[in-house]
Homo-oligomer: A and B are copies of this chain.
Amino acid sequence: MKKITIGEASRQSGVKVPTIRYYEGIGLLSEPSRSEGNQRAYEPADISRLVFIRHARELGFEVDAIRTLLTLQDDPHQSCASADAIAKARLVDVEQRIRSLMALKVELEAMVEGCGHGRVDQCRVIEVLADHGQCAHAHHGLPALNIPAS
């Protein structure tokens, strides 16, 4: 029985220590056994689960989606239609997001390019912000979602 401390689990999985505890709190990770001194003792399977979660988060899946994916993984006889649906939905979202960001990029480029580097009263950046009519008006507007910093 190699018992893995939370710090070691963090190093092996790439998930930060407080985040591991957080995942336990919200039920993504089952409560591990404890040492004599009440410290969490993980097993290799827990590390795999953490890696799975981290990877899914990096791909932008929400915690709820990951919860579903994990239950699917735990029961390999089920149809993978749900997993497929979740991944497809995520793909659609990513595509939408890319489109929005491309539109933004165009506008920001125009703003930055138009800036004469003079005083504010000639600044295109400020001007465009003040008057939406001056946009390439590729009606931007991004869908919301937070994704971890890495």
Contacts and interface: CB of A to CB of B under 8 A. Distances in A.
Which size bracket describes the interface of A in this complex?
35 or more
A100 B85 CA distance: 22
A24 interface: no
Interface stretch (A4-12, A28-36, A118-126): A118-126
A149 B140 contact: no
B144 A51 contact: no
Interface centre among A59, A122, A140, A150 (most CB of B within 10 A): A59
Contact of A126 (B83, B112, B125): B83
Contacts of A58: 140-142
A102 interface: yes
Interface of A: 48, 51-52, 55-56, 58-60, 69, 72-73, 75-81, 83-84, 86-88, 90-91, 94-95, 97-98, 101-102, 104-105, 107-109, 111-112, 115-123, 125-126, 128-132, 140-150
